[in-house]
Structure formats: structure tokens, C-alpha cells
């Protein structure tokens, strides 16, 4: 899967500007949370719109520079951190799920879910040895992914199930996050495309 395709698909989950009081990320634009990424270049531009009397936040949708900032941010801090351009062919749906999960939960957590999935499905070490669940996608993780070409469906499904479990755990243990339940459920892909 190419980055541009994944980015366009991601925007189906990431809306425009929000500032929900229960969101731990605080002020958010297209999924970039100010509390977690206060130094992102787009915040200066967004702040200038807030202060200049523009039709805020509607004015943000037409800003091409802001859109470029978002695309570059997601590519640099999520797609590239997961080395998704280096994935073997035939794993497009998994690449997208890794990317979407990284944006919503952090790239290290996304990588750890992949590594856990690989270890769970390794047929008790007969398909491949367990790999370290360190949240870093390197050559070893990519080589192990390649061994799952015939089992890509199971790898994809297990990854999605582990992702869903995290959402369920958050919702059960922190009722303040229930405001986000429907959006998180929409991020659970039940079928490969």
C-alpha cells in the first residue's frame, strides 16, 4: 500500500478540528493532538486563524499548507517509523491497520501489536522463532512478516482483534472515554478489503 492511499483512507477516521474536554490529547486537528505533539508546525497556523477573525474552524479545511503539514507529519512520525514502505507485497490491509493504529494509539504500540501477533501465530516456533516485542520495526520483524505470506489473513485478523481489545480495556476501565467508543469501533476493520 502506498502512503498517499493510506493517508486518504485515514482521513475517513480523522475529522477536522476538535477540542473535546474528555480527549486526553486536548485540542486536535485531523488526529494530531496538541497535548502529545505541541511542536507540530500546524499549531502556529491554526492559532493564527483563531486570532485573525477567520471563520474558525471552517477556514482550516481549505488551507493547502496545513494539509501538507498533516501529510508530512503522518508520513514522518507514523508511516516511516513503522517502515511501512519496506513491507513485503501482499500486506496492504495490514499496513493500513498498522498506520491507523499508530495514529490513534502511537507507533510503538502498533509495532508491539504486530510483533505479538507474529509470535502468537508462529505455530509454537515452527513457522518462525519468537521475536522481541520491543515496538521497533526493523529488519528482523520485516523478515518474519514475509514468512506469513500464506497466512496474511490470520495475521491481519489477530492484529485487529488485539487492537479491539485495547479499546475495550480502555472503555471498561475509564468511563470518561466512552464518548469516543463509536469512533474507535469504526476503526475496527472486520474484513480485509
Give residue-wise pLDDT tens across range 85-127: 999 999 999 999 999 999 989 999 999 999 999 999 999 999 9
Q: Are residues 171 and 96 in the same domain?
A: yes
Q: Are residues 47 and 124 in the same domain?
A: no
pLDDT at res. 24? 87
Mean pLDDT by 10 residues, the chain (193 residues): 91 86 91 94 94 89 93 96 95 95 94 98 94 97 95 95 95 91 84 67
Rounded to an integer, what distance in angstroms lies between the CA atom of residue 98 and that of residue 33?
19
Q: Are residues 35 and 92 in the same domain?
A: no
- Could you list the residue range(s) of the whole structural domain that residue 50 is in? 3-79
pTM beyond 0.85: the answer is: yes
pLDDT at res. 192? 67
Does 179 map to a domain? yes
Rounded to an integer, what distance in angstroms lies between the CA atom of residue 162 and that of residue 97?
11
Does 150 map to a domain? yes
Amino acid at each position: 500500500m502506498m502512503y498517499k492511499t493510506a493517508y486518504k483512507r485515514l482521513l475517513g477516521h480523522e475529522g477536522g478540528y476538535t477540542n473535546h474536554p474528555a480527549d486526553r490529547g486536548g485540542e486536535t486537528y485531523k488526529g494530531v493532538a496538541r497535548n502529545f505533539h505541541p511542536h507540530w508546525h500546524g499549531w502556529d497556523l491554526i492559532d493564527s486563524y483563531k486570532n485573525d477573525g477567520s471563520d474558525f474552524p471552517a477556514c482550516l479545511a481549505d488551507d493547502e499548507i496545513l494539509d501538507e503539514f498533516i501529510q508530512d507529519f503522518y508520513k514522518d512520525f507514523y508511516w516511516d517509523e513503522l517502515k511501512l514502505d519496506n513491507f513485503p507485497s501482499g500486506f496492504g490491509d495490514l499496513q493500513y491497520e498498522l498506520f491507523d493504529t499508530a495514529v490513534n494509539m502511537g507507533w510503538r504500540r502498533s509495532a508491539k501489536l504486530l510483533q505479538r501477533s507474529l509470535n502468537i501465530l508462529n505455530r509454537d516456533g515452527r513457522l518462525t522463532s519468537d521475536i522481541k516485542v520491543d515496538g521497533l520495526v526493523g529488519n528482523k520483524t520485516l523478515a518474519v512478516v514475509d514468512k506469513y505470506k500464506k497466512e496474511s489473513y490470520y495475521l491481519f485478523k489477530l492484529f485487529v482483534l488485539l487492537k479491539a481489545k485495547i479499546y475495550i480495556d480502555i472503555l471498561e476501565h475509564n468511563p470518561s472515554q466512552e464518548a469516543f467508543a463509536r469512533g474507535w469501533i469504526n476503526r475496527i476493520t472486520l474484513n480485509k478489503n
